[in-house]
Amino acid sequence: MSRLFYNIKQALTQIGRNKGMSLASFFAITAMMLILGLFFTISVNVNLFSEVVKQDYDTVELYLKDNVTADQTTKILTEARKLSGVTSVSYRTKEQALKIMKERWGESGYLLDSLGDNPLPNSILVKVDGVKAADRVSRYATTQSGIESTKYYKETVDKLNRITRYLQIGITVIMLFLVIVSVVVVSNTIKLTVFARAKEISIMKYIGATNWFIRGPFLVEGILIGVISSLISVAISYMIYARVVASIGTRLMTMLSSPLVSASYLTSNLTIIFLAMGVGIGACGSIISMRKFLDA
């Protein structure tokens, strides 16, 4: 335990001695993680929206006009069942649609209680076995005066999947580049400390200090830089994202019927990711410097 306290004390002293390079390291890692956090946030919300849409990806929903009669509804149900590629047909009332929307919104479902009159239409859900069948159903819907519009999710899901793949590739490339830059900056910071303490290190070696005793403060210094930068990045990301959710979250739920990922959930995951990356970057930067200058 005393060794740990010694390493931490020495690491803090070294950070104070090299304020300029230490600040450069903090800024480099913090900026890298903020950029990564932005892409991570977008990717997570796109995935959430994609999962919500996938629940109905094989369904064509026919929205009925408010003045449609029971006979017209029955006729549409009967004729839709006869279309090629249709596996099932069901009727959904506007009350059922509102209940489903509340369930999808989760904790934010109470916001729908302020709508007053239910603005959702009655609808007919047509399950299909493929894109061609969905096209047939859509063409049929245009011939029926009782149908106001149609909604089909397959193309949307395919586009979202492509966007998600591109985001993942982009995040990986950008992350690798920024991690390399951060490791180099931390490594240079440790190098300055090693140069500044060259005589002290020589004396410590001369009197029998082990390599790990000498390495300890430098390793802790790199890890501290990574951890502090990670916590700063998490705090900034939370403040920005929480404000975004508060500002446009409700409007997005209204337009897309899909909520944004909660700020608390996103922050808990970012904290784990950022801390792991911060420790890894700091440790790698320190190890690279020590291997070259301390004959590791």
**pLDDT single digits (tens) 134-146:** 888 888 888 888 8
Q: Residues 244, 187: contact at Cβ < 8 Å?
A: no
Q: Residues 227, 29: contact at Cβ < 8 Å?
A: no
The answer to whether the Cα torsion of 169, 170, 171, 176 is positive or negative is: positive
DSSP string for 207-220: TT--HHHHHHHHHH
What is the average per-residue pLDDT within 199-219? 67
* Helices (H), ranges, 151-262: 154-196, 198-206, 211-256
Give 3-state DSSP helix, strand, coil % of the chain, rounded to 5.
75, 10, 15
Q: In which residue are the tokens 């290190």 written?
A: 201
Q: What is the pTM of this model?
A: 0.58
Q: Determine the distance from the C-alpha atom of residue 227 to the mean position of all C-alpha atoms in its chain, rounded to a whole number.
A: 20
What is the average per-residue pLDDT within 80-89? 88
Cα torsion through 207, 211, 212, 217, rounded to 10: 80
pLDDT at position 249: 58
Has residue 201 got a pLDDT over 70?
A: no
Average pLDDT, the chain: 76
Calpha distance 230→233 (Å, rounded): 5
pLDDT at position 198: 63
Has residue 86 got a pLDDT over 70?
A: yes
Bigger pLDDT: 224 vs 164: 224
Has residue 183 got a pLDDT over 60?
A: yes
Calpha distance 38→175 (Å, rounded): 12
Calpha distance 61→151 (Å, rounded): 5
Name which of 37, 40, 39, 24 is nearest 285 in CA terms.
Answer: 24
* Residue boundaries of the structural domains of the chain: 2-53+157-293, 58-152
pLDDT at position 296: 45
Q: In which residue are the tokens 């502090």 written?
A: 228
Has residue 75 got a pLDDT over 80?
A: yes
Calpha distance 178→32 (Å, rounded): 6
Bigger pLDDT: 92 vs 253: 92
What percent of the chain clears pLDDT 90, i.e. is strictly above it? 0
pLDDT at position 110: 65
Name which of 39, 37, 83 is nearest 60 in CA terms.
Answer: 83
pLDDT in tens, 11-41: 667 666 667 777 777 787 888 888 888 888 8
Q: Which amino acid is at 249?
A: G
CATH fold of 58-152, please?
Answer: Alpha-Beta Plaits (3.30.70)
Has residue 243 got a pLDDT over 70?
A: yes
Cα dist from 242 to 21, 35, 263, whole Å? 32, 17, 5
